[in-house]
Amino acid sequence: MASGGRHSFSWNVAGDPLRLEVRIALLAVMCLETALPLGGDIDVQMQDGHWTIATSHDRLNLDPALWVPLSNGACPDDLGAAQVHFGLLPAMTAEAGRTLTLTHGADWVKVAF
């Protein structure tokens, strides 16, 4: 999927996770791709049913219009077609009965559920 692209992925998920949880994880990956306009590494892990999707990069771009509502579990306003994953992520996380958490620093971000 990422061959020749700007992003690389580390998928550390054992067993046979639920389809809905995989969909949530991939939506989170899409959000992190948006934050990495120059490319970067994205790490996906699942341990004991707890998922974390994380990245770090010195040129991370966390657009407040997208990330602040997401950090509150809400859908951002006025999403374009290239940003629809920011609206789907909180909705699917709620559908799965999970809690979405977002933590970040100046050069890293982590989405967990």
62-71 per-position pLDDT tens digit: 999 999 999 8
At residue 77, the pLDDT reads 85
Size (the chain), residues: 113
Q: Averaged over 10-38, what is the pLDDT? A: 96
Is residue 94 situated within a structural domain?
yes
Number of domains forming the structure of the chain: 1
Residue 5: C-alpha distances to residues 2, 9, 61, 80, 88 (Å): 5, 11, 18, 23, 24
Identity at 91, one-letter amino acid code: A
Is residue 105 situated within a structural domain?
yes
Is residue 46 situated within a structural domain?
yes
Q: Is the pLDDT of residue 89 over 60?
A: yes
Which domain range does residue 34 map to? 7-112
Q: Is the pLDDT of residue 53 over 70?
A: yes
At residue 3, the pLDDT reads 62
DSSP state of 8: E
More confident residue, 78 or 110: 110
User: Smallest Cα–Cα separation from 107: which of 67, 72, 62?
Assistant: 62
Q: Which two tokens stand for residue 42?
A: 């994205």
Give one DSSP letter per residue of 71-82, joined into a string: HTT-PPSS--GG
Check which CATH number belongs to the domain holding 95 and give it. Answer: 3.30.565.10
- Cβ atoms of 37 and 61 closer than 8 Å: yes
